[in-house]
Amino acid sequence: MTEYLAVDGGTIAYEVAGSGPLVVLAHGMGDSRAAYRSMIPPLVAAGLRVAAVDLRGCGESGADWPEWSRTAIARDLLAVVRHLGGPAVLVGHSISGGAATVAAAEEPALVTAVVELAPFTRAQSVRLGDLRVRRYRQGMLRLLGAAVFGSVRLWRSYLDVAYPGVKPADWDERLGRIDSLLREPGRMAALRGMGRTTPADAGARLADVRCPVLVVMGTLDPDWADPHAEGSAIVDALPAGLGRLEMVEGAGHYPHDQFPGRVVPLVLAFLRSEAARA
């Protein structure tokens, strides 16, 4: 059941399932909380209270917002955590990975751990050699085209590259839902707004994080020429001993949707190990 939370600037939609320690799931741009549809049941079965959030401008959340930065998204997530009686583990994909970093740095008492899935958490730069990597070149051209021209067709084309090889069983339905949402008033504007932001605000807060962080990258993620190097750089920028990196072989930019059966155990093992350490 969809619930709504009024925050400064608009309304955030979310749904909650299960009972136990709170985990908040935040998706990437151009998407909705449906991105976590395969992860929610096993997380609930593991004894967690799971809140899946639609980012500002996405899904069933309000469409018109003054800002799209990771810092703004982080404050929305923290508002949800407060409303649900946190603290919480924050799980963020892509742009939300950076937002989770900001949230953990801003309110350490509200965030017990962070899971970053294919996160944009550092300022990005393109080197000439990167463009020799075919999947990176293909992904970036489609991603930039969708953001610049507001093209749903190019976004769908990007998703085809971002899910290399294995597609979810309900792929056609998933694409249809994304297509339908992006054609609603304001939804493509939100995608374009997020696409124009920089991860620099999140990168600047990595050293301020005080909770454990799991970074999960797909080996075939088209958003980076070298996904392992990007994940390692995030871990290295965190305070020593807080971060760890896990690679999902064959996954693209959506490892949690392509291979939930691999990602959920990684997340649960991480949470159990940190709980035991605490």
pLDDT number for residue 71 = 97
Per-residue pLDDT of the chain (278 residues; tens, 9 = 90+): 899 999 988 999 999 999 999 999 999 999 999 999 999 999 999 999 999 999 999 999 999 999 999 999 999 999 999 999 989 999 999 999 999 999 999 999 999 999 999 999 998 877 777 878 888 988 989 988 998 889 999 999 999 999 999 999 999 999 999 999 999 999 999 999 999 999 999 999 999 999 999 999 999 999 999 999 999 999 999 999 999 999 999 999 999 999 999 999 999 999 998 766 75
Question: End-to-end CA distance of the chain, in Å?
Answer: 33
Range of the domain at 50: 3-277
Number of domains observed in the structure of the chain = 1
pLDDT number for residue 127 = 78
Global confidence as pTM: 0.95
Cα distances (angstroms) measured from residue 26 to each of 95, 132, 241, 242: 9, 32, 25, 21
pLDDT digits (tens, 9 = 90+) for 37-50: 999 999 999 999 99
> Residue 183: how many CB atoms within 10 A of its CB?
10
pLDDT number for residue 124 = 81
Look up the CATH number of the domain holding residue 11.
3.40.50.1820
